[in-house]
Structure 1
Amino acid sequence: MEKFTAVILDFETTGLSPGYGDRAIEIGAVLIRNNQVVDRFQSLMNPGKRISGFIEDYTGITNEMLSKAPSAAHVMEQFASFIAGHNLVAHNASFDRRFLDAELSRIGRTRTREFACSMLAARRIYPDAPSHRLETLVSHLGLQTDGLFHRALADAEMTAQLWTAMIGEIKGTYRLKEVSFDLLQSLAGVAKRAVPAYLERVAVGQ
């Protein structure tokens, strides 16, 4: 059932790019199997450097909290085990992929599975949404939320809800029996106007 299993993850970070020295400060993730959350992972992670006042205000994560957090290396060893063997999903996946790869590299580990981007998929499944930012989609679709954004586990939970909502939307609209990780991943390479015909062909093939 691997094609119906994925780890949906989110990082909070010190900035926008590990290439400029930015680090992860929190990881949150949920493991979904057959559209059900079956496990969770969350931890602050001490990056070994202070974070800016802007990041403190944006995330609610403070330097004091990080000073008491386990090291990034320790957290990433645990997280590498959590994601082992699973497909990966993130909203704006290029961002989280860069940080995941950078933090894994620091401990001599590499990612073995590919990412799907829930934002790119949502652009094709919900083309008329006001925007495709996570919080906008959550509001637009009426998904359950505790109102907390920019904390890793909360964002991962909401992305998981979006992911399962998109699966339901595809099944309902195109009468597909199954919607796999590979299918949602493939939507990123399909032109928006071509998505209906593409999914109709998939339905016929099932």
Structure 2
Amino acid sequence: MNEQHRFWQRALRMLSMGVPREQLSSVGENDHRAFQQEVWVRTLLKELQKKRIDMNTRLENATFIVVDTETTGFSPQHGDEIFAMAAAKTINGTLKDFYFTLIRPDKEIPDHISQLTGVKAEDVQAAPRLKEEMNNFLSFIGDGIVIGYHIGHDLSFINHFLWTEYRTKWIARFLDMQQILEMIHRNAVFSTLDAALSYYHIPCEKRHTADGDVQAMVELWKRILEELKSQEIETLYDLYAALSIA
């Protein structure tokens, strides 16, 4: 394909997206790529938000996506950033697919975070920016139900980025493992992932890493599904109803 043909393909695509005709000549390849990526993310989010989950779906047939991120701090509003993302696609507690990437943040990873996670500045130098990787992450999640431990922390960073960059948010369904565990074991408190893993004697060789924590949470989710079944919580409706009165 020659350069002129590629230019006209790009021009036609951009015209179809509403870019004014007079601006086409000033849009370079890098600008065009960024523009296409933004359109892709927006389109993907809209499609995910349109999807509706059948609440009569049995838990063993539903797709659950275990998600974890590592961040430079606790507040995206104050400049903290994601520097690692992992997700596992599961059905009936069985791992079907796995996603992991390091992310190059704008600011350096603090020393105490590097000591905790083992990820240092040099480890992320060649990693993609979050803006370059977000479409891959969202595509992996698909229309599954996101779950995690203290998942609100992870979603706050993801949504802060999506709002800052695209003025949109990810609003699909999600569940917090801590809430489910404390519903199952009504007199117990599982304030940390460590407490939950310890209760079920689940090892985590790479604790405080996104991929290591997700691998451990896949096993934890399998145990949780067994517990739910033993309590005759068998469908998504059953689960949401049980959580609503816990």
Bin of the TM-score, shorter chain as denominator length = 0.7 to 0.9
Asked whether the equivalents of residues 129 and 137 of structure 1 are also in contact (C-alpha less than 8 Å), the reply is no
1:38 equivalent to 2:93? Answer no
Asked whether the equivalents of residues 167 and 179 of structure 1 are also in contact (C-alpha less than 8 Å), the reply is no
Asked whether the equivalents of residues 24 and 99 of structure 1 are also in contact (C-alpha less than 8 Å), the reply is yes
TM-score by length of 1: 0.81
TM-score by length of 2: 0.69
Structure 1 residues 42 and 106 mapped into 2: Cα distance closer, same or farther (>3 Å)? farther
Counterparts of 1:71-82 in structure 2, within 5 Å, are 71-82=129-140
1:102 equivalent to 2:157? Answer no
Match of 1:161 among 213, 219, 222: 219
Q: Which residue of 2 aligns with 1:66?
A: 124
Q: Separation in 1 of the partners of 2:116 and 2:107?
A: 17
Counterparts of 1:8-23 in structure 2, within 5 Å, are 8-23=66-81
Deviation, 1:95, is 0.7
Deviation, 1:46, is 0.5
Which 5+ residue runs of structure 1 have no aligned equivalent?
A: 192-206
Larger C-alpha radius of gyration, 1 or 2? 2
Structure 1 residues 171 and 156 mapped into 2: Cα distance closer, same or farther (>3 Å)? same
Deviation, 1:158, is 1.7
SS of 1:77's equivalent in the other structure is helix
SS of 1:28's equivalent in the other structure is strand
Q: Which residue of 2 aligns with 1:202?
A: none
| Identity between Structure 1 and Structure 2 (%) | 25
Match of 1:124 among 183, 190, 195: 183
Deviation, 1:20, is 1.3
Deviations 1:119-167 (A, max 9, x none): 1111121345564311221121122x34221100111122222222111
Deviations 1:72-113 (A, max 9, x none): 111212101111212111111211110121233355363241
Which 5+ residue runs of structure 2 have no aligned equivalent?
A: 1-52
Q: Separation in 2 of the partners of 1:97 and 1:186?
A: 23
Asked whether the equivalents of residues 204 and 216 of structure 2 are also in contact (C-alpha less than 8 Å), the reply is no
Q: Which residue of 2 aligns with 1:24?
A: 82
Deviation, 1:186, is 4.7
Q: Separation in 2 of the partners of 1:123 and 1:86?
A: 23
Deviations 1:160-203 (A, max 9, x none): 2222211101212x245x343x5445544323xxxxxxxxxxxx
Aligned residues: 187
Read off the aligned partner of 1:189 and give its amino acid letter: S
1:189 equivalent to 2:244? Answer yes
Asked whether the equivalents of residues 30 and 38 of structure 1 are also in contact (C-alpha less than 8 Å), the reply is yes
Q: Which residue of 2 aligns with 1:55?
A: 113
